A and B are shown apart, each in its own frame.
Chain A
Amino acid sequence: MPVMKKHGERMMKFKNKGKDTAAMRRQRVEVTVELRKAKKDEQILKRRSISFSLMDESLSPGEDKRDEIIPLSLEKITEAVNGSNPELQLQATQDTRRILSRQKDPPINQIIELGIIPRLVEFLTYADNAPLQFEAAWALTNIASGTSDHTKAVVEAGAIPAFISLLSSPHMHISEQSVWALGNIAGDGPLYRDALINCGVIPPLLALVSPVTPVGFLRNITWTLSNLCRNKNPYPPLNAMKTMLPVLICLIKHEDKEIISDSCWAVSYLTDGSNDRIQIVVDTGILPRLVELMVSPELIIMTPALRAIGNVVTGTDEQTQAAIDAGVLAVLPRLLRHAKPSIQKEAAWTLSNIAAGPRQQIQQLITCGLLPPLVELLDKGDFKAQKEAVWAVANFTTGGTAEQVVELVQSGVLKPLLNLLLAKDSKTILIILDTISNLFLTAEKLGETETLCLLVEELDGLEKIEALQTHDNNMVYRAALNIIEKYFSGEENPDLQPGTGQDGLYDFSVEKQDFDF
């Protein structure tokens, strides 16, 4: 019974049955995003240390000496920053910036403890001293790149309005540095992101995007924009989103791969929300471009484009249909066969959500030839991708017509599916057992229960299901028992056992003909 209840619960969650799917889906995404973020942080750390070792070895002795001579002590810095001599101010600020941008473990805390941040923020307003503005902006950027506490120290010194007004500085390098600093502040989390938005960061930021903006500058702007779209609880304000989207749509058509990548990420953040947010993105008509980018040779583009489309198909049937109309089904086979496990997994996740759609969409999925790559993935893919593929099959058997389910079985899904019963993950096993139950329900409808029984037995499935009766997980045990009791208990129908395979009863293809009315 609990199995049935669980099944019912999940039935409620498929978007064609109940409206709760999106929540469940997103939750799963969230977990993976978290993991990915943690990994990324490790990598950043790694990259930092590399950069430093590179610097160390490539520094000429002369440069080293320059370093030895120039830096003031921390006390001297404090003194000079608080003093009134513009030259000393500049030198001290520059030294601060150097300390923060050179050393392996930048002493951000020490610098904060000096109490000079308010002064540095004040320097940002010295419009007649551009070098000082620049050095201060850089130093503050690097302080804000640290932990939340570090960012907080910068924000609380009043840096947000100062940086926003510097966006319009006549000096490009200063406005670029401000974009960078604001990106760090926005990246801290939803709180500061919205603080920036409320302070009106978006209009001057967007104004910097023009056909003559240098690529390097544009990259910074795009990244900062993506941070302004990032994070939930709460999501960015709808208005802000609507203001930024047209520019992001432009940037996504740029030719620089980093700009494309970051704007794709921005769109993926915006689609990672409620259906009305997805609708706003769909309405821009960007889906065909995203689908095109899904097969980009650059992984840094393919990944966020796939993520964005994956998010879109968690939406309503109409939104999913928009993605299908944009051609997503044509590119998915390639991604399901991609060498990188993370791509396989995201592609399978996307497919599972399309398979959770109405039967017309399931039919399109069949017509576009998604079943063979799905079966391949189930058979040989990375385990995480296999789990997603299992979901896809489960959704398919839940929402598909008997005819469609027959086609699924014909494409050879049973063998790899049954093999995965050996997996260690009990959640996956449960889904597979549910799927098998679904298949039997269809077979019952068609009067082909015995054929399916034989097929499962032939593929050593019965053995595996029987073995699951000793599984530690109670739910697994019950689900397995349920199937055994219902379909494999004794010789209740000895005459129905086909002694011959030749009469074709084995094969679902015959049923299909019977069924085809």
Chain B
Amino acid sequence: MFVSDCRREFYEAIVSQRVLLLVASDVDALCACKILQALFQCDHVQYTLVPVSGWQELETAFLEHKDQFKYFVLINCGANVDLLEILQPEDDTFFFICDSHRPINVVNVYNDTQIKLLVKQDDDLDVPAYDDIFRDEEDEEEDSENESDGSEPSEKRRRFEEDVIERTMKRRQRREWEARRREILFDYEQYEYHGTSSAMVMFDLAWVMSKDLNDMLWYVSIIIFHRYVTDIGILQRHVSRHNHRNEDEENSLSIDCMRIAFEYDLRLALYQHWSLYESLCNTSYTSASLKLWSVQGQKRLQEFLADMGLPLKQVKQKFNSMDMSLKENLREMIEESANKFGMKDLRVQTFSIHFGFKNKFSASDIVYATASLMENIEKEGPETTNFIKALDSLSRGNLDKLHQGLDLAKKQLRAIQQTVASCICTNLVISQGPFLYCSLMEGTPDVKLFSKPVSLCLLSKYLLKSFVCSTKNKRCKLLPLVMAAPMDVEQGTVIMVGIPPETESSDKKNFFGRAFEKAADSTNSRTLHNHFDMSIIELKTEDRSKFLDALISLLS
């Protein structure tokens, strides 16, 4: 069921309990987790944090802890499947689910006792009505019970009016109802998308309890800019509420204090921690617009830089060390030239954080850094190390970890850019009819990086954007993309993601989750739907071709 009063039905219910916190590995979950941890710390709530990267880990974590805990808080996992069915918990176990995955499983919505959904009610959920999908089976059961209980036949029987007709009518009605139910559920479950950010839900909770801090707001800002553009307005109000004193000269805060600003900035990845040139080359937007994978494109980049009047030496230098005079009106200069080169959206409004003299970070850079830390392929300890590191990097006190993340992010962006270029130059993106398909070979440079779901998704998005810019085929511009990369060579598995078409509007709904499921079912392919995003699956390499064939015929 949906929780209508988060404070009373959620927070006050768990505040004096021992709580197990299960957190998915995505940046939104980390931010939400940070906020909740801060609240827990305030109120001395006893909790244990367990990171979970997929359904298998979630199940294992539950089984390991179900004897010690009755209260489970799930962040960005659990809403989109029938949780009670997969976990089989005792009746006195309660789940509080704060998850942006949509659609929410209907059983979770209508379970009144054990499942509490922390979901903003104003979200456009369109959950099917109870009576349309559930039906009391009493009638049928009683009927069959009477038929099969083996008691003596009745001594006398009355003949009812049109017994037979009634029964067939009843059966027909039932069939119609079932058909309708299938249709409704199909419509409801067909597309996968994301609802309100979990960090936002947690921040709202903190706000309602008047326990919201500027740090918490920063966590939300990070994620809102990343994915949930629609909530920017609300957030902006919170930002000015928390940071308005900066404008007042007399009450100005110490320079060490944190300030959040909502301001215009360039849509260039990590440029403040890189060189302008590197950032231009490795930002998906500029790289795709200028078609940097081609010689022509490289030329265009030179022309672009010349147009701005920036010397190459300065541009290739660390941004921090660039000439102050150039930096002063850099943004205006870049914007002006960008317009000429067809890059009208290079300027964006974004959140940034300042503290101390030299620390300034933009929200989007933090997302890159945190995500890279989470999927760091260099093993540095047990499975959870990456998660903990990523979580820590969000705190202001852990600048070293954040900088390590920024370095990893640069590596990742370079790898993505090179892979995109090679895929396009060698025509690895093939049209399969209903969708585009690209498969990375074993042995491709950096292929290991893309065995991780978030990195592969990022690559897929960048590749699709670039492909749409490179192709002249109009039909292909409208197609979604399915991308596969080797996952575990020893086990012979590939990881596959499906992403919606480039052209679609801001709410990107993804139908690959259901389609993957059906294709796997119809071909008996050995797949594993382990990720909380249903549009990411793992698949045996031998089963790939029959799986793809089924997917093509399914979507054609």
Contacts and interface: CB of A to CB of B under 8 A. Distances in A.
Contact of B150 (A48, A58, A141, A342): A342
B357 interface: no
Contacts of B160: 51, 55, 101-102
A303 interface: yes
Interface string B263-279: 00000000000000000
A145 B150 contact: no
A101 B152 contact: no
Interface in A46-64: 46-48, 50-51, 54-55, 58
A58 B157 contact: no
Contacts of B155: 187-188, 227, 230
B49 to A, nearest CB: 46
Contacts of B158: 48, 100-101, 106, 141-142, 145-146
Interface string B133-170: 00000010011001111111111111111010010011
Interface string A28-57: 000001001101110110111011001100
Contacts of A144: 156
B139 A44 contact: no
B151 A146 contact: no
A265 B157 contact: no
Interface residues of B, number: 24
A298 interface: yes
A58 B154 contact: no
Nearest to B164: A216
B17 interface: no
Nearest to A262: B153
B426 to A, nearest CB: 63
Contacts of A230: 155
A55 B154 CA distance: 22
Contacts of B163: 51
A34 to B, nearest CB: 11
Interface in B299-348: none
Nearest to B148: A299
B153 A226 contact: yes
Nearest to B147: A300
Given A51-B160, A142-B159, A188-B155, A58 B166 contact: yes
A223 interface: yes
B152 A180 contact: no
A343 B148 CA distance: 13
Nearest to A227: B155
Contacts of A106: 158
Contacts of B150: 299-300, 302-304, 340, 342-343
A195 to B, nearest CB: 16
B48 interface: no
Contacts of B152: 33, 36-37, 40, 265, 304
A316 interface: no
Contact of A98 (B142, B143, B161, B170): B161
Contact of A180 (B151, B157, B161, B173): B157
Given A141-B158, A145-B156, A50 B139 contact: yes
Most buried by B among A51, A180, A188: A51
B157 A102 contact: no
**Mostly helix, strand, loop or mixed at chain B's interface?**
loop
A101 B160 CA distance: 5
A151 interface: yes
Contacts of A37: 152
B146 to A, nearest CB: 5
B161 A101 contact: yes
B172 to A, nearest CB: 10
A89 interface: no
A48 to B, nearest CB: 8
A177 B158 CA distance: 11
A183 interface: yes
A261 B153 contact: yes
Given A262-B153, A300-B147, A54 B159 contact: no
B169 A58 contact: yes
**A-side binding surface: helix, strand, loop or mixed?**
helix
Contacts of A47: 142-143, 146
A184 interface: yes
A227 B161 CA distance: 23
Which size class do A's interface residues fall under?
35 or more
Given A46-B142, A54-B166, A55-B166, A145 B157 contact: yes
Nearest to A44: B154
Contacts of A340: 150
Contacts of A302: 150
Given A39-B151, A300-B148, A302-B150, A187 B156 contact: yes
Nearest to A346: B150
Contacts of A227: 155
Nearest to B149: A299
Given A37-B152, A265-B152, A303-B151, A141 B159 contact: yes
A300 B153 CA distance: 9
A138 interface: yes
A230 B155 CA distance: 9
Contacts of B139: 50, 54
Contact of A50 (B142, B157, B159): B142
A58 B173 contact: yes
A165 to B, nearest CB: 20
Nearest to A222: B153
Determine which residue in B139, B148, B157 has the highest number of CB atoms from chain A within 10 A of its CB, and name it. B157
A141 B157 CA distance: 8
Contact of B151 (A40, A145, A184, A188): A40
A451 to B, nearest CB: 44
A43 B157 contact: no
Interface string A177-213: 1001001100110000000000000000000000000
Nearest to B142: A50
B358 to A, nearest CB: 75
A298 B166 contact: no
Contacts of A226: 153
Contacts of A54: 139, 166, 170
Contacts of A33: 152
A105 to B, nearest CB: 11
A265 B185 CA distance: 47
Given A58-B166, A58-B169, A58-B173, A36 B151 contact: yes
A217 B92 CA distance: 54
A43 B156 contact: no
A44 B154 CA distance: 8
Nearest to A139: B159
Contacts of B169: 58
Interface string A209-252: 00000000000000100110010000000000000000000000
Contacts of B154: 40-41, 44, 187
A343 B151 CA distance: 11
Contacts of A40: 151-152, 154
Interface string A103-129: 000100000000000000000000000
B407 to A, nearest CB: 66
A261 B154 CA distance: 12
Nearest to A101: B161
A265 B153 contact: yes
Contact of A101 (B143, B149, B159, B170): B159
16 contacts: A40-B152, A40-B154, A43-B146, A50-B139, A51-B166, A100-B158, A151-B156, A177-B159, A183-B157, A187-B155, A188-B156, A265-B153, A298-B148, A300-B149, A303-B150, A304-B150
Closest 7 CB pairs of A and B: A303-B150, A187-B155, A299-B150, A145-B158, A145-B156, A101-B161, A184-B156
Given A141-B158, A180-B157, 8 more contacts: A36-B152, A47-B146, A50-B139, A51-B166, A142-B158, A146-B158, A183-B157, A342-B150
Interface of A: 33, 36-37, 39-41, 43-44, 46-48, 50-51, 54-55, 58, 98, 100-102, 106, 138, 141-142, 144-146, 151, 177, 180, 183-184, 187-188, 223, 226-227, 230, 261-262, 265, 298-300, 302-304, 340, 342-343
